[in-house]
Every structure is written in structure tokens, then in C-alpha cells.
Structure 1
Amino acid sequence: MRLIKPRRLRFRGFLDECFPDTFDGRSYFKQLPHFRYLAYQDEKIVGQLGIDHRVINIEGKIVRIFGLIDLCVLPAYRRSGIASNLLHTAEMQARRAQVDFLVLMGDNDTIYKAHGFNRVSPAMTKWLAVENVESVSIIERDLADFFLVKSLSAEEWPKGKIDMLGYLF
């Protein structure tokens, strides 16, 4: 995998192809990620993983996370190890940054479970709702069907209510 700066328009088209009717020509969904990993094949973007580096609060315990955002690979390049490479690269950077956990929201957990992620249940979560590039309200809901974590230490995921301290990626 080679990392180079993408052309903005080419990247937007890539996201629109991976997530039809979601990005509407933007290079982000709810908020710009802090950084991204991009996978290229012959100068063409074929995969990406956005990273949100932040702290969250779980029952008063501050936890350092990398939020993994919008992992995607173009359909013609799937099942070739690109998504696994992106996840591995993010994990290595998170370890260097002394992050406690990788966190993501996903309804299909097959690849994530293969990489050591587990569902959090219950996952009572509070976050800032963002719709159409506008803050709307604070939402609190059990996200056990979507909330996946991977510990990067011997520490277990803390029990209790999760405050994302911002938007939900």
C-alpha cells in the first residue's frame, strides 16, 4: 500500500461510488476525519479508512480512541486484502499514538471480528446529532447492534454509559 495525497474531485467520486446516495459529492459524511489512509492501485484510489482521534468519556473514565470511519473498498477490488491492510495500518498508528481502543460503528461485523473487534453490549451512547452539515440535538440510545471495539492493551472496555463528546462517526 502506498500513501499519497489524493485529488479532491477524484476522492469525492470514489466515496460516491462506495456509498451511493450518502456523500452527495462531499469528501466527508458528518465531519471531516482527522486523517485518512488511502489504498491505490495504478494511481487509482481503491480503498480508504478515515480516522477520528479523540477522547470519549465512559462513566467518568477518559478513554483515548481512534474512531474508524467509512472503511470502504471499490467493489472490483474487494476480497483482496485491502480492507485488512487499512485496518492493520490504522492499528499500528494507534499503538504508536498510545490509543487505548479502536472504535467503529458497523452493521456487518465479519471483517472486524476477524481483526479482533468485539461488540459492546449494552452500549448506551450519547452523541451530538449532525444532519445535513448542521448540529441538530443530543441523542442517547443503545447502539449495541453497531458499536464495535478493539483493545490495544490488556485493558478491557469500561462498563457504563458512553459519552462520545461530539458527533458519532
Structure 2
Amino acid sequence: LTSLALPLFVVTMASQNLPGVAAIRAAGYDMPISRIITLTGVATLVLAPFGAFALNLSAITAAICMGPEAHPDPKKRYTAAVTCGAIYVLIGLFGAAVTGLLIAFPRELVLAIAGIALLGSIGGGLHAALKDDTHREAALITFLVTLSGVVIAGIGSAFWGVVAGAVALFVQQYGLRQKSKP
């Protein structure tokens, strides 16, 4: 429980759910986040014995499916999520063949294609995160630490980016409170 379940929970929350929430908010959607996280947690608990142990907000997919690239009308962007779900099912059914195909391509090509697919989402997320002057530094620190790829104690950079951003925000807010005291 402490060596596997707890770290996986923290990593899932930090690397998928938290960025997924940020993507939802950056796209301008007002969703009941607490209920959504609870629903994915309960679904994971029920479906984990059958192999569905990684249900989460999937930050990258969420960002792609909620951007203007998915559909100009925000109320019709759900079609991108439905299409993506159907593609995931197909990839799951033909997982070995898809894996073999991706392994046949040079690693750099696969990474470049993934990077190009995410350019709009990354740009939109950065724009939303850096727009507010009061939180700009914390957002930038979060992004840069996450981008660094640092791994500490077997925990990836997405988690440490959130930690570094939270610490930066705390230090910044603490400094502002100290300045405002008489």
C-alpha cells in the first residue's frame, strides 16, 4: 500500500488529474471537479481488477479535445472526446500491432509527431497560466520543473513541478503578506 498504491495515487493526481483540471479551466469550462475526480476514483476502484487501473482526467487528451482545434463551437467539442475514446478502444484491441508499428519508427519521429500535436494545447495552457501577473512566476516554475524531466525518489517531473510551483506560490504569497503587515 505505501510503496506502490500511495505513490501511484500521488503521481496520478499530480501528473494527470491536476493538469487535467488546469486544462479544463484553461479551456473555459466550469465543471464540478470534485465530483469528476470522485467518479474516476470510484470507477478505478471498481474496474481495477479487470485491468482498468489508470482512469483519470488524462491531461494531454483533455487539452487536445477541449481546444479550439477540436471544434470551433465549445458545446460540440465533446465529439473529439467520443472519437478519441473510440480510437482508444481500437488501439486497445490491436495494441500489439500498434506497438510494433510505433517501435518500427525512429523514437525521435514519434516524439516529434507527439510534440507537434500538442503545440496548440501547450500554447493555450501557457497563455492561460501566464496571463495573471500575480501567479505568473509560480506557473512558470511549475512548467519549467515539469519540462525538466527531473526524477527524484522514483517520482517524475510532473509531481515535482506541482510541488515547486506550490512552494513558489506560497513563498510569493507569504512575502506579500509580510509586506502588507504594519
TM-score (norm 2): 0.26
Please state which structure has a larger fraction of its residues in strand: 1
Please state which structure has a larger fraction of its residues in helix: 2
TM-score (norm 1): 0.28
